[in-house]
Chains A and B, each alone.
Chain A
Amino acid sequence: MLEIRNLVVKIADEDKQILNGLNLTVNDGEVAAIMGPNGSGKSTLSYVIAGKEDYEVLDGEILLNGENVLEMEADARAAAGIFLAFQYPLEIPGVATMTFLKAAMNAQRKARGEAELLTPDFIKAVNGAADKLGIARDMLRRPLNVGFSGGEKKRMEILQMALLSPSMCILDETDSGLDIDALRIVAEGVNALRDKNRGFLVITHYQRLLDHIVPDTVHVMSKGKIVKTGGKELALELEKSGYASYGEAA
Chain B
Amino acid sequence: MGIVTPLKTAAEQQLVQQFADIKAELPGGPAVRKLREDAFAGFEVRGLPHRRLETWRYTDLRTLLREAAPLATGPRTLDAARAKLAGLALDATVVVLVDGAFVPELSSLEGLPEGLSVQTLADALVSGRDDLPRVLAGPSVAADDAGLMLNAALMRDGSFIEVAAGVELEKPLAIVRLFSGEKEISVYGRSVVLVGDSAKATIVEINASLGKAPQQLNVALVIEAGNETEVEHIRLVTDQSEGSVGVFSLLATVGAQAKFDSFALVCDAATVRQQHFVRYAGEHSEVGLRGVNLLGGTEHSDVTLVVDHEVPHGTSRELFKSIIGGEATGVFQGKVIVRQHAQKTDGGMKSNALLLNDGASMFNKPELEIFADDVVCGHGATVAQIDGEQLFYLMARGLPRPQAEALVLQAFAGEAVEFVQDEALRDVVMAKIEAWLGAREASSVVSAV
Which residues of A approach B to under 8 Å, CB–CB? 50-54, 73-75, 77-79, 83-84, 86, 89-90, 92-95, 100, 103-105, 107-108, 111, 143, 160, 164
Knowing A75-B404, A94-B414, A95-B411, say if A111 contacts B393 (CB, 8 Å).
Answer: no
A50 neighbours in B (Cβ, 8 Å): 392, 396
Which residues of B approach A to under 8 Å, CB–CB? 387-390, 392-401, 403-404, 407-408, 410-415, 418
Report Cα–Cα, A243/B418, bound state, in Å.
50
Contact B401 A104 (CB under 8 A): no
A89 neighbours in B (Cβ, 8 Å): 393
B412 neighbours in A (Cβ, 8 Å): 94
Q: What are 14 sample pairs from A and B whose C-beta atoms fall under 8 A apart?
A: A50-B396, A52-B392, A78-B398, A83-B396, A86-B396, A90-B387, A90-B389, A90-B390, A90-B393, A92-B393, A93-B414, A95-B407, A108-B397, A111-B398
Contact B398 A75 (CB under 8 A): yes
Knowing A73-B401, A100-B407, say if A94 contacts B415 (CB, 8 Å).
Answer: yes
Contact B411 A94 (CB under 8 A): yes
Report Cα–Cα, A107/B407, bound state, in Å.
13
Contact B395 A86 (CB under 8 A): no
In the A-B complex, list the 6 residue pairs whose CB atoms are closest, starting with the nearest: A94-B411, A94-B414, A74-B395, A108-B398, A78-B398, A104-B397
Least CB separation from A52: chain B residue:
B392
Report Cα–Cα, A95/B408, bound state, in Å.
8
A79 neighbours in B (Cβ, 8 Å): 398
Report Cα–Cα, A160/B403, bound state, in Å.
18
A95 neighbours in B (Cβ, 8 Å): 407, 410-411, 414
Report Cα–Cα, A83/B393, bound state, in Å.
11
Report Cα–Cα, A107/B412, bound state, in Å.
21
Please give the distance in Å from A76's CB to the nearest CB on chain B. Answer: 8
Contact A78 B393 (CB under 8 A): no
Contact B407 A103 (CB under 8 A): yes
Please give the distance in Å from B429's CB to the nearest CB on chain A. Answer: 13
Contact A78 B395 (CB under 8 A): yes
Report Cα–Cα, A124/B401, bound state, in Å.
28
B413 neighbours in A (Cβ, 8 Å): 94
Knowing A73-B395, A75-B395, A95-B407, say if A107 contacts B390 (CB, 8 Å).
Answer: no
Q: Which of A78, A100, A111 contacts B396 (CB 8 A)?
A: A78
Report Cα–Cα, A103/B397, bound state, in Å.
9
Report Cα–Cα, A53/B440, bound state, in Å.
22
Report Cα–Cα, A79/B403, bound state, in Å.
14
Please give the distance in Å from A196's CB to the nearest CB on chain B. Answer: 24
Least CB separation from A82: chain B residue:
B396
Knowing A94-B412, A95-B407, say if A107 contacts B393 (CB, 8 Å).
Answer: no
Report Cα–Cα, A59/B48, bound state, in Å.
63
Sample of 9 further A-B pairs with CB below 8 A, known A74-B396, A94-B412, A107-B398: A75-B395, A78-B396, A79-B398, A83-B396, A93-B414, A103-B407, A105-B398, A107-B397, A160-B397
Contact A164 B410 (CB under 8 A): no
Contact A78 B397 (CB under 8 A): yes
Please give the distance in Å from B146's CB to the nearest CB on chain A. Answer: 38
Report Cα–Cα, A210/B84, bound state, in Å.
64
Knowing A93-B411, A94-B411, A94-B418, say if A104 contacts B389 (CB, 8 Å).
Answer: no
Least CB separation from B387: chain A residue:
A90
Least CB separation from B404: chain A residue:
A75
Contact B398 A92 (CB under 8 A): no
Least CB separation from A84: chain B residue:
B396
Contact A75 B408 (CB under 8 A): no
Interface centre among A74, A79, A89, A143 (most CB of B within 10 A): A74
Please give the distance in Å from B416's CB to the nearest CB on chain A. Answer: 10
Report Cα–Cα, A108/B404, bound state, in Å.
13
Please give the distance in Å from A160's CB to the nearest CB on chain B. Answer: 6
Contact B411 A143 (CB under 8 A): yes
A143 neighbours in B (Cβ, 8 Å): 411
Report Cα–Cα, A108/B396, bound state, in Å.
10
Contact A103 B403 (CB under 8 A): yes
Least CB separation from B416: chain A residue:
A94
Please give the distance in Å from B445's CB to the nearest CB on chain A. Answer: 13
Please give the distance in Å from A158's CB to the nearest CB on chain B. Answer: 13
Least CB separation from A105: chain B residue:
B398
Report Cα–Cα, A50/B398, bound state, in Å.
11
Contact A107 B399 (CB under 8 A): yes
